Structure 1
Amino acid sequence: MMQLPNNVTIKEVGPRDGLQNEKTVIATPDKIEWINRLSRTGVRHIEITSFVNPKWIPPLADSLEVATGIARVEGVTYSALVPNMRGMEGFLKANLDEVAVFMSATETHNQKNINKSIDETFPVLKEVIDAALQNGKRVRGYVSTVFGCPYEGRTDVKQALYVSQKLLDLGIHELSLGDTIGVANPVQVQQVLEVFLREIPADRLAMHFHDTRGMALANVLASLQMGLTTFDGALGGLGGCPYAPGASGNVATDDLVHMLHGMGVATGIDEAALVASAQFMQDKIGRPLPSHTLQTVNAC
Structure 2
Amino acid sequence: MSEPIIEFTDLRRTFVVRTKAGLLRRAKREVHAVDGISVTIQPGEACGYIGANGAGKSTTIKMITGILVPSAGTVRTCGMEPVANRRRLAREIGVVFGQRSQLWWDLPLRESFRILAAIHRIRAADARPRIDQLIADLALGDLLDTPVRQLSLGERMRGEVAAALVHRPRLLVLDEPTIGLDMISKERLRNFLQAERAQQGTTLLLTTHDMGDIERLCERVLVVDHGRLAYDGTLNGLAERVALQRVLVVDLTEAHAPLRVAGAENIGTELDGQRQRLAFSPEQTTAARVLAEVSAQAEVVDLTLEEPAIEEIVRTLYHGQVAS
Q: TM-score range by the shorter chain?
A: 0.3 to 0.5
TM-score, normalization: structure 2?
0.37
More helix by share: 1
Q: Comparing both chains, which one has the higher relative contact order based on Cα–Cα distances under 8 Å and sequence gaps of 6 or more?
A: 1
Task: Give the structure with the higher percent strand.
Answer: 2
Normalising to structure 1: TM-score of the pair? Answer: 0.39
